[in-house]
Amino acid sequence: MTKKVRKYEEFLVGGREEFLKRVEEGYRIFQETRTYAYPTWQYGEPKGKLFKVEVEDSPRFGETAYVELDSARTAFVAIDMQTDFCGKNGYVDVMGYDLSLTAAAIKPIKNVLDAVRGTDIKVFHTREGHEPDLSDAPYNKVLRSKIIGDGVGIGEKPEGGLGRLLTRGEENWDIIDELYPIPGEVVIDKAGKGAFTTSNMHLMLKNAGITHLVITGITTDVCVHTIMREANDFGYWCIVLKDCVGATDYGNHEAALKSIKMQGGVFGNVSDSERFIKAVKEAGLK
């Protein structure tokens, strides 16, 4: 008896072959130019100006490459630059961590904001926090915060604190003055470490036509990494600016950056504020 070989939907073959041709072309361009070229076949003609940002350690450690972006389809994202994470009497401070490690990202982020404001690069800010009644706060998250905070956790106000920790509407929950959003910039409130499942960030990025994300904020190993991983799975091109991110533990910060660069950039690419600002200026975006 001849065994019947089941064939999967044959109409998918043509699409797959065309897609792999595009991948092969992108591979050829990268080999010749060390550039992740902006794929016009996927996104259409650029809406703004194409510009290249130098990135490091891609695809092998010790090498330099470039990512090509369309300025009008690029979003600069500042993640959770809130008093709770980098200011006195906020959540991180109450937990007993060294604030200088997260606050170190403030000045470089401000430098990049100064460079992109007034261009067609869009600016997005995120804030992590919970409803005042904690209805969107998981029990285990709140419990862990109370344990590490020596009895003061999410939803409670520490002695001498500005307000209830990680609670929407409180002074400590808001973005710090140095990096506060200006009119026209987007603020996304999220209830978790990620943003693609706990906010409308993905919808807002898609509505704005965004394809590339330049990621900054805190903390490198938690909210920054979670959002980058989410964005990568949705097909966004991601660049983390390493001096514009910080963690409560420097070892975790370094490990988080290293993990991005593994496997030729498994989650995206790593650069820094100076190289990004240089690319913006050389492109004449202002």
> In the structure encoding, which two tokens stand for residue 181, read together?
């959003």
Would you call 80 a catalytic residue per the annotation? Answer: yes
Bridge partners of 186, per DSSP, are 124
Options 57, 70, 80, 189, the catalytic residue? 80
- Whether 111 contacts 127, CB under 8 Å: no
Options 122, 190, 193, 242, the catalytic residue? 190
Query: Which of these, 110, 75, 68, 109, lies nearest to 202 by C-alpha position?
Result: 75
Cα–Cα dist 100/84, whole Å: 13
- Tokens 């998918």 found at: 12
Would you call 238 a catalytic residue per the annotation? Answer: no
- Cβ neighbours for 199, distance < 8 A, ≥ 6 positions apart: 126, 188, 189, 190, 191
Options 52, 70, 86, 223, the catalytic residue? 223
DSSP 8-state secondary structure symbol assigned to residue 152: -
Would you call 223 a catalytic residue per the annotation? Answer: yes
- Whether 193 contacts 128, CB under 8 Å: yes
**Catalytically active residues, by annotation:** 80, 190, 223
